[in-house]
Amino acid sequence: MNRDWILVRGGTAEAIRAAVVGHSKVAAPVVPAEFRVQVYRLGGGDHAVRADPPLPPYTFANLINWLDDPDETGAASAVGWLTSPGSGTRYFLAPKVANAGGDTLVGLGDDGERVEVFLPDCSLTVARKRFTPADEPSVDFSQLEPAEEFVVVADADRDFGNPDFVPG
């Protein structure tokens, strides 16, 4: 299984890099931490975005929404796969309304539970509405060279943003 990553359909690696860097400057971190971000070209106009260490769930979830905005990246869409640090559940996550810059993601855990993620605080709740998740593509990142690699600073404050990415 791959660690957390975001699939961006469309755009360019350079535009995605600019968007990730721009996103990292939206708010000053309370507990600053550095993350090495890699953008990979996957073919067919698709890109993958990963970070080492993995981004905190709050930052990761909000970044999916940010990269889904065609004004930021020129992309057609962005979705992601995140493993909850608290439960180990692997989630597919996507904007509730594509390309709209909304405040909610929808998701499906590998345990079958549908969820919504309210982005302002990364709260996770059980969802009622059905949707069709994307299957996680099989990507062997060890065989790929990043098209872009850079460092961003994000907030690692465990007192905010549902750091364990669990319902409640």
All residues at 6 or more sequence positions from 81 whose CB lies less than 8 Å from its CB, including other chains: 2, 4, 5, 90, 91, 92, 93, 136
pLDDT by 10s per residue, the chain, length 168: 679 999 999 999 999 999 999 999 999 999 999 999 999 999 899 999 999 999 999 999 999 999 999 888 888 999 999 999 999 999 999 999 887 878 999 999 999 999 999 999 999 999 988 888 889 999 999 999 999 999 999 999 999 999 999 998
Does residue 162 fall inside a structural domain?
no
- Whole-model pTM: value is 0.96
Does residue 45 fall inside a structural domain?
yes
The 10s digit of each residue's pLDDT in 146-161 is 999 999 999 999 999 9
Cα 130 to its chain centre, rounded Å, is: 21
Ramachandran assignment for 163, one of left (phi > 0), alpha (psi -120 to 50 degrees), beta (any other): alpha
Question: In whole angstroms, how far apart are CA 162 and each of 48, 108, 119?
Answer: 24, 17, 10
Does residue 107 fall inside a structural domain?
yes
The angle at the Cα of 92, spanning 98 to 106, to the nearest 5 degrees, equals 45
Does residue 36 fall inside a structural domain?
yes
Hey, is 26 helix, strand or coil? Answer: coil
Hey, is 65 helix, strand or coil? Answer: helix
Q: How many angstroms separate the CA atoms of 113 and 108, rounded? A: 6
Domain count, the chain: 1
Does residue 160 fall inside a structural domain?
no
Residue linked to tokens 């996550």: 93
Contact 123, 162 (CB under 8 A): yes
Provide the 10 A C-beta neighbour count for residue 112: 7
Q: At what angle do helices 57-67 and 13-24 cross, to 10 degrees?
A: 130
Structure tokens at 119: 């982005």
Does residue 133 fall inside a structural domain?
yes
Residue 64 belongs to domain spanning: 5-155
Does residue 165 fall inside a structural domain?
no
Provide the 10 A C-beta neighbour count for residue 122: 20
Q: How many angstroms separate the CA atoms of 60 and 54, rounded? A: 8
Does residue 166 fall inside a structural domain?
no
